């Protein structure tokens, strides 16, 4: 019954349509690749998305950037980007998982209003939160520190993560946990050994989002960090885009370098993406 | 008993003294200028033993970074900035007056004069920037001394058919227009020192520039990059630019530098603005003497020579011109001659308020939307709207009373609801539940909820130069009554709200329809290469959105953009994407659609896969058409998954700051700004009116809150 067939022309049309869409989608990306590989720093009037001459100079400049004391800036900035994003994912995820589990399973006062408050804060534009945040971080002694950045990133992505994970936890039948308890598992074991493995797709998606958010964020990082050796990569990239002059070659090379890890993660986790994003919502 | 402690304290203090002292220096330089400042700082370390930690910040971000960091004691000891912001820095109390080390007679007079405020000097002048006329030597032209001579040469040198121009400069920037305005006898400020725009000279100067453009003597919408390319490719004979342009010229090109001509009609020279870059000492430095010493060191002697030779700067220090290497440098001496005719940009607050209105008027006139006659009035209106007077201060008592009463009512209402059962009965697992939530709740409380509450309450204050005054609901009434501008003008809340709603609607509709359509294609089980297509189609999602924005902005570039190149292949004239509202808005929407459809595609794909195939088979048996199947099976079953995604997507899009800010930047004239980017501008680009910006944010919040209530009802129906 399931062995339906499809007329040749229809299959062909399908492939043609999808290839065209892919070409349109990838065109801007190819254009950036071209900028990164072309020897000039400026844009050039051409519709051709493939470079006419190839040089790796822009990549060399961006990767090899050093400061006045000869320290390898790019290496340090990559490291701080990795540390900040990694720590944000870890901190954010552990906070979100416990909170979401509790919100999904237990009843306690203030739960509903807390969940609503979480959503509500998301509707206030983040840019204006910066003014008070600056003072709070000064008060905590966390200005100009990667730790402060991690805390801000982790908490600001929490509302989204908590909502997503709670939605997913709600779909995991309680009976599984009850059965484990019957078998003598402690509540901690139930959480670690039963609930978390089942929630893997949602965990993967949440982790990806936290990582991406921290990896890509730049307004806060540019405002809070005052030391070039600890800049995250997007802040470093900002240097190539001046108000009066944009070094397009360097910008494009830097953009590709910054996007590459996120893309890799994306493709590694894309299997989970489809399930993780929708399962929580489909429960109906 | 006490002695070990004393010893410890002593030890600690010697330890802190033992660490080599270091100073923080912030600047906005790039390229040669950056190298020069690094060399000079090294020389300072060699001379004094004091380390200098340098931070280079993009120039357009430097000012806001300084004004936020210094009052919080996270700023530099010394910073380099142009003198125009001096009055603002002074009002925010972030800059210290210069000590006796500053000897005014040792510098060019306009340079030190620029650093004077109420009889005191601030900072040490480093260099001068002003505009001059660059001419290619191979064109065999003589430097024009009047505009009549200039026009004659331009007409001869231009060739519209081959896209060759006589002159190129960034005409849309008021910095470049100011000398022309002055040449036509224009005054920017009236006798009381208030900015004035509606003058005959303004109209004449605008009309003159427009006529140069209309006669194809100079290019439209010239950016710095275009000017550079045209000059290097010999497609323009002359350029108006500053000392920084010498670094942009290809080594093979021979050129000379001349003062700007005189306007024939008035006999007045085109006097460019003189910008003075200075090393300022922060008012919050912990080492005032050392900081002062560094600032002075950078401004005189060897450091000046380094800045001239490596950084190609025009020195403010007179002694530098005696130096052999400097004296031989024709570029330096040419600029000195130009500088002597210039007037230092006024360092008043009023000056800072002129740029945005003038930019608006210049672009509107050059793009043809407004006649030169109406340019001045347009700038005047925008000026009055942006520089709103501070609302009167009111007493916070009634607000506090209302707030307290509200809280009391809420608490009593809540506790009445809780009557009946004991706490333990109602919440048997409360202890564990709360323990699990506590860490997240603590973090959220400090870093999300507190800033949120402060942000809300800021909307009741007026902020000026670091001081807040309580004004009650005045910010809201000003916004909602559209005080100072018509409802149909881009600055009005209602106009921006309509644009924001259109923007959200257009994007969500496109995201969902494209995403769903692709998902349906990709669902086809017989399709080969499904995985490959899917991977390629989610690429835009993986690209950071500010990169996407920059990339598309480049693609929409009028002269060098790929989009216009593609249109050109079909014989379509290049489009100035950001000159009209409709195309600018379309550019934003196209960018955001590219970025957003993969999310909807993935969500739809997930939901489609969860629909059992036998439903379709049954429908087919019953003879239902594909369209009926889509309407009766696919859509209803997709709803529960798609609805939350749409709600989420609409909130994201509503507040999608990066795309608007980076792609159209609100052009033309703020027309494509959405509410968030407007709030951002009030907070960070228009005199830091945090209170007004917070009121905008609160209104955004109310709109989204109302929307969330609507969607709650929608999804509620779903569950019922």
Q: Evaluate if residue B422 carries a pLDDT over 90.
A: no
B440 touches chain A (CB under 8 A): yes
Check residue B348 and give its pLDDT: 83
Q: Evaluate if residue B31 carries a pLDDT over 70.
A: yes
| Residue B416 structural domain | 404-441
B612 with B564, same domain: the answer is yes
Burial per residue of B349-358, b for 16 or more beta-carbon CB atoms within 10 angstroms, e otherwise: bbbbbbebbb
Interface of B with A in 640-679 (CB under 8 A): 640-641, 643-645, 651, 655, 657, 676, 679
B594 touches chain A (CB under 8 A): yes
Q: With respect to residue B395, please indicate whether it lies within any of the assigned structural domains.
A: no
Q: Are strands B255-258 and B132-136 parallel, antiparallel or unpaired?
A: antiparallel
**Segment B586-597, tens digit of pLDDT:** 999 999 999 999
Can you tell me the distance from the alpha carbon of B297 to that of B278, in angstroms, rounded to the nearest whole number? 12
pLDDT band at B15 (very low <50, low <70, confident <90, very high): very low
Residue that finishes a domain, picked among B344, B374, B396 = B344
**Segment B674-685, tens digit of pLDDT:** 999 999 888 888
Q: With respect to residue B410, please indicate whether it lies within any of the assigned structural domains.
A: yes
B60 touches chain A (CB under 8 A): yes
Over range B652-668, report the average pLDDT. 88
CATH number of the domain at B244, please: 3.40.190.10
Interface of B with A in 266-325 (CB under 8 A): none
Q: With respect to residue A43, please indicate whether it lies within any of the assigned structural domains.
A: no
B410 touches chain A (CB under 8 A): no
Over range B396-423, report the average pLDDT. 80
B530 with B624, same domain: the answer is yes
Model ipTM value: 0.87
| Residue A91 structural domain | 70-280
Can you tell me the distance from the alpha carbon of B460 to that of B463, in angstroms, rounded to the nearest whole number? 10
Which carries the bigger pLDDT value, residue B298 or residue A64?
Answer: B298
CB-CB neighbours of A75 under 10 Å = 14
Q: With respect to residue A173, please indicate whether it lies within any of the assigned structural domains.
A: yes
Token pair recorded at residue A63:
């990767």
B513 with B648, same domain: the answer is yes
Q: Evaluate if residue B4 carries a pLDDT over 70.
A: no
Alpha carbon of B66: minimum distance to chain A alpha carbons (Å): 10
For residue A94, list chain B residues with Cβ-Cβ distance below 8 A: 439
B144 with B77, same domain: the answer is no
B26 with B73, same domain: the answer is yes
Check residue B168 and give its pLDDT: 93
Q: Evaluate if residue B3 carries a pLDDT over 60.
A: no
Over range B281-300, report the average pLDDT. 92
Tell me which residue in B543, B679, B684 faces A259 most closely, judged by beta carbons: B543
Place of tokens 């039948």: A173
Can you tell me the distance from the alpha carbon of B507 to that of B503, in angstroms, rounded to the nearest whole number? 6
Intervals of chain A under pLDDT 70: 1-5, 45, 242-244, 275-284
Between A and B, how many CB-CB pairs are < 8 A? 326
Q: Are strands B22-27 and B51-56 parallel, antiparallel or unpaired?
A: parallel
**Segment B558-610, tens digit of pLDDT:** 877 889 888 988 888 888 888 889 999 999 999 999 999 998 998 888 888 87
Which of A36, A144, A252, A278 to substitute to test the interface with B, most B CBs within 10 Å?
A: A278
Alpha carbon of B523: minimum distance to chain A alpha carbons (Å): 11
Alpha carbon of A265: minimum distance to chain B alpha carbons (Å): 9
Q: With respect to residue B398, please indicate whether it lies within any of the assigned structural domains.
A: no
Q: What is the pTM of this model?
A: 0.85
Check residue B494 and give its pLDDT: 92
Percent of chain B exceeding pLDDT 90 equals 33
Check residue B582 and give its pLDDT: 92
CB-CB neighbours of B311 under 10 Å = 26
DSSP B682-711: HHHTSTT-HHHHHHHHHHHHHHHHHHHHHH
Number of domains in chain A: 1
B620 touches chain A (CB under 8 A): no
Q: Confirm if B169 and B239 have CB atoms less than 8 A apart.
A: yes
For residue A261, list chain B residues with Cβ-Cβ distance below 8 A: none
Which of B248, B454, B455 to substitute to test the interface with A, most A CBs within 10 Å?
A: B455
Alpha carbon of A44: minimum distance to chain B alpha carbons (Å): 5
How much of chain A is helix, strand and coil, in % rounded to 5?
75, 0, 25
Strand partners, B239: B134, B168
Closest by Cα among B31, B27, B561, B60 to B245:
B31
B184 with B280, same domain: the answer is no
For residue A46, list chain B residues with Cβ-Cβ distance below 8 A: 562, 565
Closest by Cα among B534, B511, B453, B461 to B695:
B461
Check residue B593 and give its pLDDT: 94
B240 with B369, same domain: the answer is yes
**Segment B61-113, tens digit of pLDDT:** 888 889 888 988 888 999 999 998 898 899 888 999 998 888 989 998 888 88
B189 with B310, same domain: the answer is no
Check residue B420 and give its pLDDT: 61
DSSP B666: T
Can you tell me the distance from the alpha carbon of B354 to that of B384, in angstroms, rounded to the nearest whole number? 10
Check residue B226 and give its pLDDT: 84
Check residue B543 and give its pLDDT: 85
Q: Are strands B124-129 and B273-282 parallel, antiparallel or unpaired?
A: antiparallel
Check residue B417 and give its pLDDT: 65
Closest by Cα among B659, B681, B674 to B550:
B659
Q: With respect to residue B95, please indicate whether it lies within any of the assigned structural domains.
A: yes
Q: With respect to residue A87, please indicate whether it lies within any of the assigned structural domains.
A: yes
For residue A119, list chain B residues with Cβ-Cβ distance below 8 A: 708
Which carries the bigger pLDDT value, residue B353 or residue B9?
Answer: B353
Check residue A1 and give its pLDDT: 38
Q: Do B55 and A22 lie within an 8 Å CB cutoff?
A: no
**Segment A89-116, tens digit of pLDDT:** 999 999 999 999 988 888 887 788 888 7
Over range B652-670, report the average pLDDT. 87
DSSP B364-414: HHHTTSS-HHHHHHHHHHHHHHHSPPPPPP--SHHHHHHHHHHHHHHHHHH
B586 with B648, same domain: the answer is yes
Helix ranges (H only) for B239-281 are none
Q: Do A284 and B693 lie within an 8 Å CB cutoff?
A: no
Token pair recorded at residue B127:
């260099």
Q: With respect to residue B645, please indicate whether it lies within any of the assigned structural domains.
A: yes
Q: Do B224 and A245 lie within an 8 Å CB cutoff?
A: yes
Check residue B1 and give its pLDDT: 39
Number of domains in chain B: 4
For residue B75, list chain A residues with Cβ-Cβ distance below 8 A: 226
Q: With respect to residue B702, please indicate whether it lies within any of the assigned structural domains.
A: no
Strand partners, B344: B274
Q: Evaluate if residue B12 carries a pLDDT over 70.
A: no
Q: With respect to residue B390, please indicate whether it lies within any of the assigned structural domains.
A: no
**Segment A249-271, tens digit of pLDDT:** 888 999 999 988 888 888 888 77
How much of chain B is helix, strand and coil, in % rounded to 5?
60, 10, 30
CATH number of the domain at B549, please: 1.10.3720.10
Q: With respect to residue A82, please indicate whether it lies within any of the assigned structural domains.
A: yes
Q: With respect to residue A6, please indicate whether it lies within any of the assigned structural domains.
A: no
Mean pLDDT estimate for chain B: 86
Q: Do A162 and B446 lie within an 8 Å CB cutoff?
A: no
Check residue A243 and give its pLDDT: 64
B122 with B141, same domain: the answer is no
B207 with B334, same domain: the answer is no
Check residue A218 and give its pLDDT: 84
For residue A239, list chain B residues with Cβ-Cβ distance below 8 A: 30, 56, 58
Q: With respect to residue B409, please indicate whether it lies within any of the assigned structural domains.
A: yes
CATH number of the domain at A112, please: 1.10.3720.10
Token pair recorded at residue B330:
């024709």
Check residue A61 and give its pLDDT: 86
Q: Confirm if B367 and B577 have CB atoms less than 8 A apart.
A: no
Place of tokens 């696919």: B634
Strand partners, B256: B135
B339 with B361, same domain: the answer is no
CA-CA-CA-CA dihedral for A42, A43, A48, A50, to nearest 10:
40
């Amino acid at each position: 019954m399931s062995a339906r067939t499809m007329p040749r022309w229809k299959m062909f049309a399908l492939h043609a349509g999808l290839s065209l869409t892919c070409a349109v989608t990838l065109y801007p990306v190819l254009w950036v690749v071209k900028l990164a590989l072309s020897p000039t720093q400026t844009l050039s009037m051409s519709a051709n998305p493939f470079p006419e001459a190839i040089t790796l100079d822009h990549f060399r400049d961006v990767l090899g950037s050093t400061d006045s004391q000869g320290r390898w800036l790019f290496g340090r900035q990559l490291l701080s980007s990795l540390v900040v994003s990694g720590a944000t994912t870890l901190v954010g995820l552990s906070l979100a998982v416990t909170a979401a589990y509790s919100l999904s399973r237990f009843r306690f006062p203030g739960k509903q209003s807390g969940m609503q408050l979480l959503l509500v804060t998301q509707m206030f534009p983040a840019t204006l939160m910066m003014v008070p945040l600056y003072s709070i971080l000064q008060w905590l002694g966390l200005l100009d520190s990667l730790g402060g950045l991690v805390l801000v990133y982790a908490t600001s992505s929490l509302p989204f993560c908590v909502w997503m994970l709670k939605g997913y936890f709600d779909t995991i039948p309680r009976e599984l946990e009850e059965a484990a308890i019957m078998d003598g598992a402690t509540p901690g074991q139930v959480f670690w050994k039963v609930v978390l493995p089942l929630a893997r797709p949602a965990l993967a998606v949440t982790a990806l989002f936290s990582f991406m958010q921290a990896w890509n964020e730049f307004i806060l990082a540019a405002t809070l960090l005052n030391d070039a050796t600890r800049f995250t990569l997007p802040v470093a990239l900002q240097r190539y885009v001046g108000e009066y002059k944009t070094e397009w070659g360097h910008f494009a090379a830097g953009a590709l370098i910054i996007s590459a890890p996120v893309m890799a993660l994306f493709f590694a986790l894309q299997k989970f993406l489809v399930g993780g994003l929708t399962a929580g919502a489909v429960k109906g | 008993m006490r002695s070990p402690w004393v010893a410890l304290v002593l030890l600690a203090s010697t330890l802190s003294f033992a660490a080599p002292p270091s100073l923080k220096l912030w600047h906005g330089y790039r390229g040669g200028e950056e190298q020069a400042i690094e060399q000079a700082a090294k020389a300072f370390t060699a001379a004094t033993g004091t380390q200098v930690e340098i931070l280079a910040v993009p120039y357009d971000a430097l000012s806001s970074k300084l004004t936020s960091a210094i009052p919080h004691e996270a700023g530099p000891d010394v910073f380099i900035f142009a003198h125009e912001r001096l009055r603002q820095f002074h009002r925010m109390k972030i800059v210290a007056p210069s000590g006796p080390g500053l000897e005014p007679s040792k510098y060019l007079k306009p340079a030190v004069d620029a650093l004077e405020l109420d009889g005191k000097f601030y900072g040490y002048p480093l260099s001068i920037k002003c505009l001059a006329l660059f001419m290619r030597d191979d064109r065999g032209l003589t430097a024009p001394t009047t505009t009549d001579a200039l026009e004659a040469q331009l007409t001869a040198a231009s060739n519209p058919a081959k896209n060759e121009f006589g002159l190129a400069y960034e005409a849309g920037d008021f910095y470049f227009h100011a000398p022309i305005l002055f040449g036509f006898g224009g005054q920017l400020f009236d006798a009381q020192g208030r900015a004035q725009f509606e003058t005959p000279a303004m109209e004449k100067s605008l009309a003159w520039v427009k006529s140069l453009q209309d006669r194809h003597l100079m290019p439209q919408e010239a950016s710095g990059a275009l000017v550079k390319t045209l000059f290097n490719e010999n497609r323009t004979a002359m350029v108006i630019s500053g000392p920084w342009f010498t670094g942009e010229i290809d080594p093979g090109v021979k050129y000379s530098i001349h003062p700007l001509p005189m306007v024939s009609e008035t006999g007045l020279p085109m006097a460019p603005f003189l910008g003075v870059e200075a090393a300022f000492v922060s008012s919050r430095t912990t080492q005032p003497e050392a900081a002062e010493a560094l600032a002075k060191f950078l401004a005189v002697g060897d450091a000046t020579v380094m800045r001239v030779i490596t950084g190609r700067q025009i020195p403010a220090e007179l002694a530098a011109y005696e130096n052999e290497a400097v004296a031989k440098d024709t570029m330096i001496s040419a600029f000195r001659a130009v500088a002597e005719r210039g007037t230092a940009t006024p360092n008043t607050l009023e000056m800072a308020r002129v740029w945005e209105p003038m930019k608006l008027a210049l672009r509107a006139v050059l793009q043809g939307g407004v006649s030169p006659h109406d340019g001045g009035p347009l700038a005047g209106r925008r000026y009055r709207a942006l520089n709103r007077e501070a609302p009167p201060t009111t007493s916070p008592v009634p607000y506090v009373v209302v707030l307290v009463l509200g809280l009391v009512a809420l608490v009593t209402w809540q506790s009445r609801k809780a009557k009946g059962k004991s706490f333990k009965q109602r919440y048997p697992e409360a202890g564990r539940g709360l323990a699990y939530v506590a860490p997240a709740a603590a973090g959220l409380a400090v870093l999300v909820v507190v800033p949120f509450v402060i942000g809300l309450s800021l909307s009741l204050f007026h902020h000026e130069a670091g001081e807040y005054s309580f004004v009650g609901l005045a910010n809201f009434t000003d916004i909602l009554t559209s005080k100072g501008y018509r409802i149909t003008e881009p600055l009005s809340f209602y106009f921006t709200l309509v644009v924001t709603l259109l923007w959200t609607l257009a994007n969500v509709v496109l995201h969902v329809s494209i995403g769903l359509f692709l998902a349906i294609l990709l669902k086809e089980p017989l399709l080969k290469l499904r995985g490959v297509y899917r991977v390629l189609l989610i690429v835009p999602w993986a690209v950071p959105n500010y990169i996407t924005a920059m990339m598309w902005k480049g693609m929409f570039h009028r002269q060098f953009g790929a989009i216009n190149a593609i249109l050109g292949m079909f014989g379509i004239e290049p489009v100035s994407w950001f000159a009209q509202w409709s195309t600018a808005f379309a550019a934003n929407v196209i960018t955001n659609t590219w970025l957003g459809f993969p999310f909807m595609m993935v969500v739809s794909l997930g939901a489609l896969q969860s629909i059992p195939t036998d439903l379709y088979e049954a429908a087919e048996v019953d003879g239902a058409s594909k369209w009926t199947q889509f309407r009766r099976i696919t859509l209803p079953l997709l709803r529960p998954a798609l609805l939350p995604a749409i709600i989420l997507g609409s909130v994201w899009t509503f507040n999608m700051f990066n795309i608007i800010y980076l792609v159209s930047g609100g052009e033309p004239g703020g027309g494509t700004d959405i509410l968030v980017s407007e709030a951002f501008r009030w907070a960070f680009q228009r005199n830091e009116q945090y209170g007004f910006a917070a009121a905008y944010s609160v209104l955004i919040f109310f709109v989204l809150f109302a929307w969330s209530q609507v969607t709650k009802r929608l999804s509620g129906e779903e569950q019922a």
